[in-house]
Structure 1
């Protein structure tokens, strides 16, 4: 799996801090820009996050490129609606020699791995045969969720924090949890204060909202305090 931050809002933390300061000031934007120190940026960002005042975080966006991931992963990824996605199309790209992702549980079991790899080759052969007589857009129906894919996607900082809250949880599926770890490492290099507290609520709040599904790392509570808009 390769995940790379390929673009982002210039000076993302300053942009968010400026938006927050503007909400509570009579001064103009140029004046605020000239007088906003790094120390005040940090204080504002930490205050926003502690209060749950999330809307200023929407002004900073981050664009990632991911390769070597499965369709099973991207089916989960695109459920995060406040984001933009562009994925390799199985309708237009020939998948006769598709590569595939192998889960660790299968990789570590010799018999399971043998059957898995054999099945993938059977699917390749079926796809090739179908593609000779029907359009690729129909032949692709036999392709597995294990198919390797590539995707470019963009989140704003608020959506990213929500993503990390859900996908870094131990209950998240292993592949998307692995991707979330790589994404977090990327954004922390560019916006360390914004993402200092990113992660599941057991780590950031000391509580869990998963109810009976909780892994037990933190006390379970049944409701979440309403955050500010």
Structure 2
């Protein structure tokens, strides 16, 4: 089934604009920390944050931190996301969480092409079948090895171990879950950590991300650009909209690099700098 992006700002530094302004002001202020707030109106906070941006004095931005909960994105996206190294990530594990009926993200170009979309969905269904079958085969193999170390007969059972292992795969797995619940769970994790190798990049995942404002601005510069892959670009834009509601001064000029300077992409430019600037300045 197709996944849908869900994004939530889980936590953030209260009064982030003011915190950054105080951090920047302290660097040039002869007085004490308690006096930093004197006369620090909303207007002055805005001016001070803008001044820091103009001076490219970025270290005070690191005092403001933002945590996002992200669902309905592909593994392909998170492979790109975690390349922004100066951040913290907690992602749903495919080693410990079984991907039963996994959701997937369909790239827009594929979605717009009827035949391509049909091929894509068939590939997802085939991957699910391969994953399920491989998990079952690997799990049964491990259960058989586990049972080989047991007595000939399990207490309370009329059938011998040898007779149990003649059953179907599903019956063997069910037998193990009933009599050795904890051990069966551990064996299943060993099976799915290998079966996950057949899962596609499009497989849906969930991740919690924490970044400070300095790293976020760099993230927006790179990932809100038209040359970024569409899925992560759409995520970046939605993240930017969220942080602008709680820290409007910090992220006043946030967006791709061409929002505030000439396009750095050279011959690879999208050629839409004017439109991009207008879009992000009005956001």
Instruction: State the TM-score, normalized to the length of structure 2.
Output: 0.75
Taking the aligned partners of 2:92 and 2:126, their CA distance within structure 1 comes to 23
Q: Which residue of 1 aligns with 2:265?
A: 210
Give, in angstroms, the shift of residue 34 of structure 1.
4.2
Superposed, which structure 2 residues align to 1:92-171 within 5 Å? 92-134=96-138, 135-171=191-227
Classify the secondary structure of the residue corresponding to 2:211: strand
Taking the aligned partners of 1:144 and 1:218, their CA distance within structure 2 comes to 34
Give, in angstroms, the shift of residue 212 of structure 1.
1.9
Say if 2:178 is the partner of 1:174.
no
Taking the aligned partners of 2:34 and 2:238, their CA distance within structure 1 comes to 36
Q: Which residue of 2 aligns with 1:80?
A: 84
Aligned length: 218
Give, in angstroms, the shift of residue 218 of structure 1.
4.6
Give, in angstroms, the shift of residue 4 of structure 1.
1.3
Taking the aligned partners of 1:34 and 1:43, their CA distance within structure 2 comes to 15
Instruction: State the TM-score, normalized to the length of structure 1.
Output: 0.92
| Mean CA deviation greater in 37-46 or 78-87 | 37-46
Would you tell me which structure has more helix in proportion to its own residues?
Answer: 2
Runs of 4+ in 1 over 3 A off after TM superposition: none
Q: Which residue of 2 aligns with 1:26?
A: 30
Taking the aligned partners of 2:273 and 2:89, their CA distance within structure 1 comes to 34
Give unmatched runs, 5+ long, in structure 2.
139-190, 275-283
Give, in angstroms, the shift of residue 86 of structure 1.
0.5
